[in-house]
Chain A
């Protein structure tokens, strides 16, 4: 009965996003573009945490590399070709992920978290302290890339729809990937890596491939972020952002792709809400406090994230009786 509900939900979300520019002004378009970029970023981490069970705390490095590549490789006075700049930015981020993954995947658990954080901080200090990255001031992107006369990403609406298409493509790609043999092997590694090895899977290359892919997708998000703001600075690689994206997927519900979408929207909208002077007046300066308390409340009350909310309500209304648990097991892919 509810088998198809997630699909309907995702289609409705994308439909609403496609119609949104008709309903809102430039502020709304700009905000939702940013949230969609975060959603792509959150999806990249969901591939690692939700699918493969690898908690990476350095995801911002790949995001930042995608963003810096877009700005550094663009010519100063003319539009770069989107057809090469986009893939090159993604590959740059993926290559760094390959190197980081090759070393950090030799560790497990909390050590893995710390090693990925260390590599992200390394990238952060490279752009922060060397002439390459322009220091704390960052760098501006004066002319945005274009695809001939077909797509000019200088326009806010064009960028909006380009970001929406990128988000949809990422979502579909990951949904298909997780159903494939590769995706099932990642799920097996998450649940019981020892058994996977005993069965004949060399698990390290699988994890490294997932890590590299994830880095590439984070690079795509970073690339779009640089285009949206026309500006990059070292904060894009800071551990705050790595933490924020982790909170997004936890908030949305780990183990579901749509959880990353929901989490990105929930996180960004909560942030906007607590920053709003119209609602909080002078207290809006202390928005971190409100956001923090809201996140603590969400995690405490929704152990399965916002994705789990309908099931939680159903359980409260009709009781836990029915075959809720097996259903969970079947749907968890």
Chain B
């Protein structure tokens, strides 16, 4: 199912020796990671292995204690999160982080607005901004929410909220996607739908996928990095990870 490795393998996001200490605890310990366009790079590990902290550092939500982050060839280690987002870095959250009182459409439209903010145009109705309404409709349709546009986001089912997370992410037209457990709490049917969406997004994007659903990870990932206690113990193609004895004893447990 996976596309052949082709010439289009530019590294869009690169983390080098990323470290994060919380007092005496080292949550992320010299982790290096590369995300290439056209590939899904999964990060797996037990709870507390440092996966979410890694995403938070890559997206700029928290600063690293050491190491550097490079986005589209630029060193962005000292950039704020909004600036990284505008440069093409989109992320979704493990726990739903939407605007529950707004409609599904407005959730997507507001995200798309980040691309054409024009805050000084105070007399223009935001709903008439075609750049953001168009991008919002497109993103909602891609994520399979086109029939729920007028529904308040808070009234969606759990699975639909996860889809909305992705739609909001897509509405900003990012090149790099950092997805934190997009399949968490989803039923079988919803999982299939989400995997099909990721499959569809893979060619144009560099995707980092943090996920606990091992079947899904081994089906979709081009590369898997395994973290234990903040350290990377293996990073390889799925087949090699499956048979890696170190990974088996530390994590997969069989």
Contacts and interface: CB of A to CB of B under 8 A. Distances in A.
B98 interface: yes
Interface in B38-61: 59, 61
B85 A199 contact: yes
B152 A199 contact: no
B101 A180 contact: no
A326 interface: yes
30 contacts: A176-B122, A179-B125, A180-B121, A181-B117, A181-B124, A182-B119, A182-B122, A184-B106, A185-B110, A185-B113, A185-B117, A191-B99, A191-B101, A192-B98, A194-B97, A195-B98, A195-B168, A197-B80, A197-B85, A198-B59, A198-B81, A198-B85, A199-B172, A200-B115, A201-B82, A201-B117, A209-B119, A329-B101, A329-B152, A330-B152
A180 B125 contact: yes
Contacts of A328: 101
Interface in B131-159: 132, 150-152, 154-155
A181 B82 contact: no
A209 B121 CA distance: 13
Interface in B54-108: 59, 61, 80-83, 85-86, 91, 93, 97-103, 106
A22 interface: no
A278 to B, nearest CB: 45
A181 B91 contact: no
B249 interface: no
B186 interface: no
A209 B120 CA distance: 10
B82 A197 contact: yes
B117 to A, nearest CB: 6
B123 interface: yes
Nearest to A188: B110
Contacts of B91: 198
Chain A contact patch, size range: 20 to 34
Chain A CB within 10 A, most for which of B61, B122, B123, B132: B122
Contacts of B154: 329
Contacts of A329: 101-103, 152, 154
B132 to A, nearest CB: 8
B196 interface: no
B81 A197 contact: yes
Contact of A203 (B82, B116, B118, B152): B82
A231 interface: no
Contacts of A330: 103, 150, 152
Contacts of B82: 197, 199-203
A187 B119 CA distance: 13
B184 interface: no
Given A184-B106, A200-B114, 20 more contacts: A176-B122, A180-B123, A181-B117, A181-B118, A183-B126, A184-B126, A185-B110, A188-B99, A195-B93, A196-B110, A197-B80, A198-B61, A198-B91, A198-B93, A200-B82, A201-B114, A202-B83, A206-B119, A326-B152, A329-B152
Contact of B111 (A199, A202, A326): A199
Interface of B: 59, 61, 80-83, 85-86, 91, 93, 97-103, 106, 109-111, 113-127, 129, 132, 150-152, 154-155, 168, 172
Chain A CB within 10 A, most for which of B61, B100, B118, B126: B126
A196 B112 CA distance: 11
A5 interface: no
Contacts of B110: 184-185, 188, 196, 199
B172 A180 contact: no
B68 to A, nearest CB: 21
Interface in A150-200: 176-177, 179-185, 187-188, 191-192, 194-200
Contacts of A198: 59, 61, 81, 85, 91, 93, 97
A16 interface: no
Nearest 4 A/B pairs, CB to CB: A200-B85, A200-B114, A329-B152, A182-B119
A185 B119 contact: yes
Contacts of A277: none
B97 A182 contact: no
A180 B122 contact: yes
A332 interface: yes
Nearest to A176: B123
Contacts of A196: 110
A199 B172 CA distance: 7
